[in-house]
Amino acid sequence: MSYGSALATSYSKPYWDGLVQGLIRIQRCIACGNCQDFPQGRCRHCLSENLAWIDASGSGTLLTFSSVHRAPSPEFSKYIPYIVGMVSLPEGIQLMSRILVEDESELVLDMPMSAKPIQWPDTAYVLGFEPKRKTS
């Protein structure tokens, strides 16, 4: 199984392992109850080291987005243009993510989103969100 192991640290390994399983794992402080991103050894709110990993709901709302037209490195050239955005989670954090639509005209600010971790570019699992599909 391939994932962004080069990106994983002892603090962030549960996050990266979660993406491989289709989950968003985030740190929640046992002392104050706040969640945080990016993973680290202390709570950024109260400095407690008493942190636990929880599975986020996978839902969120789109705060903002932008199309990328210039590849940040050669590995990404075959993907441009692609869309990145900030998604607000009900757990109280905001995550930068790939936004999985073909065209930004499909996006509206504050629209409901669903998490969908993907392999990108081809080898590493990264966080992705797509518009939440309406159920009839």
44 or 79, CB closer to Zn ion? 44
| Of 5, 45, 57, 123, the one binding Zn ion by CB under 5 A | 45
Give the Cα separation of 126 and 22 in Å (integer).
10
Give the Cα separation of 85 and 75 in Å (integer).
20
Give the Cα separation of 72 and 120 in Å (integer).
14
Q: Which stretch binds Zn ion (CB under 5 A): 47-55, 78-86, 95-103, 113-121?
A: 47-55
Tokens of 125: 């699992």
Closest contact distance (angstroms) between CB of 36 and Zn ion is 8
56 or 100, CB closer to Zn ion? 56
CB atoms inside a 10 Å sphere around CB 124:
18
| Of 7, 31, 108, 109, the one binding Zn ion by CB under 5 A | 31
Per CB under 5 A, does 44 bind Zn ion?
Answer: no
- C-alpha pair distances (Å), 19 with each of 13, 29, 41, 46, 91: 10, 21, 20, 27, 17
Per CB under 5 A, does 32 bind Zn ion?
Answer: yes
3 state DSSP class of 99: strand
Per CB under 5 A, does 51 bind Zn ion?
Answer: no
Closest contact distance (angstroms) between CB of 130 and Zn ion is 31
Binding site for Zn ion (CB under 5 A): 29, 31-32, 43, 45-46, 48
